[in-house]
């Protein structure tokens, strides 16, 4: 046995410099460099020595003998994870389970997603990019977890976007305080359908309940680029009800200093943020699974302000409806889905919507229809295509968009 291995094992068991009265091994006399360590291991029942009363420190051990020592150390609660991993096969043959090691190995998980995206717009430049996301999930304890997400986007048509930039777009904790679920940090908040709010936010979210859940959010945007309709603070409160085939919700939103960016053709804003004022929005919605593979969703939204865009008032409310059939699943190759939707959304009735079509934010919102399909080509490879036909709420601008995506997950 090597000197370093003896000391490492003894330190794992908490050996100190004090000597023990009994000397169990004749070849490890008092004053020997390993005396305290070997005595501690012997007293703890980790090492036994040989029948002739010697320790045999100069002899080579078999892997099986070393595995026995590791197994005894683990039984005493020693932190010998690396040794347990090295001698896992021998420990298994001894009937020793390394549950604690396996649990620690699962404590942190890394997953990822790569998305290729191509967008064709009638009234603007086409777009193409490759987005890479890496998620890191850590188990803090039984009640709390941490999630972080790094993202890099490589633009194939707009080199000025900066292909080497990596952003920490998500970093948040999930846990429970009493009977309340808490989420705190930076995350992508997609409230219900996302037609009122789909944006990165920095904040705290608390919710209570199971089938009927009450929740509240206090947050701000990491930058106005993410939360384009709120350059200051965001507050959300709502009730969600899971009634089996029917899910329903009512939500209240308040966004301070609401406004919009002027975007360039490459998707970046030009640095001008147009403030139109505060917004308070109510929305109510429901989804109905009326057949095994069909879901009908509808949502109505109403804003308290009547902001003007380009000298025109687009109205205060908006609505959305979607009919979906089946849906592709990354775990089921060959699975697929179709959907068709219609939306009529005033900018006075949303904060940052999820629609991938041109949203005509500077033109007071948008209305139009969409049809889409998804298909799982293989396990963890899914393609999605949506076609949008939209027009602005004010003025006479319109657009037709093909938004295609190919996802690889691992």
Pairing of strands 108-121, 398-409: antiparallel
| Cα→Cα distances 30→36, 51, 68, 303, Å | 8, 20, 26, 84
The chain-wide mean pLDDT, for the chain, equals 82
Domains of the chain: 3-104 (no CATH), 107-409 (2.40.160.10)
- pLDDT score at 307: 86
CA 255 to chain centre: 24
DSSP-based three-state secondary structure for 67: helix
Between 13 and 71, whose confidence is greater? Answer: 71
Q: Is the pLDDT of residue 399 over 70?
A: yes
Q: Which of 131, 130, 133 is nearest to 156 (CA)?
A: 130
Which range, 2-16, 85-99, 149-163, 295-309, has the best average confidence (pLDDT)? 295-309
- pLDDT above 70 covers a percentage of the chain that reads 71
Distance CA 151, CA 164 (A): 10
Q: Is the pLDDT of residue 264 over 80?
A: no
In the structure encoding, which two tokens stand for residue 149, read together?
């997400």
For residue 10, name the pLDDT band (cuts at 50, 70, 90).
low
Q: Is the pLDDT of residue 4 over 60?
A: no
Residue range 184-212, pLDDT digits in tens: 999 999 999 999 999 889 999 999 999 99
The predicted model gives 165-193 an average pLDDT of 94
Q: Is the pLDDT of residue 112 over 90?
A: yes
- pLDDT score at 224: 57
Q: Are 47 and 69 in contact (CB under 8 A)?
A: yes
Distance CA 326, CA 335 (A): 8
Residue range 272-330, pLDDT digits in tens: 667 777 889 999 999 999 999 999 999 999 999 888 888 888 999 999 999 999 999 99
DSSP-based three-state secondary structure for 204: strand
- pLDDT score at 265: 54
DSSP-based three-state secondary structure for 39: helix
pTM for the structure as a whole:
0.72
Q: Is the pLDDT of residue 39 over 80?
A: no
- pLDDT score at 19: 41
Between 264 and 212, whose confidence is greater? Answer: 212
- pLDDT score at 98: 55
The predicted model gives 331-356 an average pLDDT of 93
């Amino acid at each position: 046995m090597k000197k370093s291995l003896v000391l490492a094992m003894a330190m794992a068991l908490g050996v100190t410099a004090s000597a023990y009265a009994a000397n169990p091994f004749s070849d490890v006399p008092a004053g020997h460099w390993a005396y305290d360590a070997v005595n501690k291991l012997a007293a703890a029942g980790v090492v036994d020595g040989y029948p002739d009363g010697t320790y045999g420190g100069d002899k080579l051990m078999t892997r099986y003998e070393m595995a026995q020592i590791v197994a005894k150390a683990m039984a005493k609660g020693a932190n010998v994870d690396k040794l347990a991993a090295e001698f896992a096969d021998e420990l298994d043959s001894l009937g020793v389970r390394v549950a604690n090691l396996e649990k620690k190995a699962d404590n942190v998980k890394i997953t990822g997603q790569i998305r290729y995206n191509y967008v064709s717009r009638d009234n603007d430049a086409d777009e193409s990019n490759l987005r890479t996301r890496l998620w890191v999930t850590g188990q803090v304890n039984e009640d709390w977890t941490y999630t972080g997400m790094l993202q890099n986007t490589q633009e194939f048509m707009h080199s000025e976007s900066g292909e080497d930039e990596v952003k920490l777009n998500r970093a948040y904790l999930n846990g429970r305080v009493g009977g309340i679920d808490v989420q705190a940090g930076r995350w992508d908040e997609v409230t219900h359908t996302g037609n009122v709010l789909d944006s990165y936010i920095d904040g705290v979210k608390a919710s209570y309940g199971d089938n009927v859940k009450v929740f509240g959010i206090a947050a701000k945007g990491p930058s106005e680029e993410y939360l384009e309709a709120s350059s200051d603070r965001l507050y959300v409160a709502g009730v969600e009800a899971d009634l089996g085939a029917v899910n329903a919700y009512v939500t209240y939103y308040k966004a301070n200093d609401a406004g919009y960016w002027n975007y360039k053709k490459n998707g970046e804003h030009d640095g001008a943020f147009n403030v139109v004022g505060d917004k308070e929005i109510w929305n109510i919605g429901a989804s109905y699974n009326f057949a095994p593979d069909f879901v009908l969703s509808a949502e109505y939204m109403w804003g308290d302000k009547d902001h003007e865009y380009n000298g025109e008032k687009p109205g205060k409310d908006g609505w959305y409806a979607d009919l979906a059939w089946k849906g592709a699943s990354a775990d089921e190759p060959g699975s697929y889905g179709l959907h068709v939707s219609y939306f009529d959304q005033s900018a006075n009735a949303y904060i940052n919507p999820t629609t991938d079509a041109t949203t005509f934010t500077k033109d007071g919102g948008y209305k139009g229809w969409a049809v889409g399909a998804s298909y799982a080509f293989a396990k963890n490879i899914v393609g999605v295509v949506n076609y949008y036909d939209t027009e602005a709420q004010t003025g006479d601008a319109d657009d037709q968009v093909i938004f295609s995506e190919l996802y690889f997950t691992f």
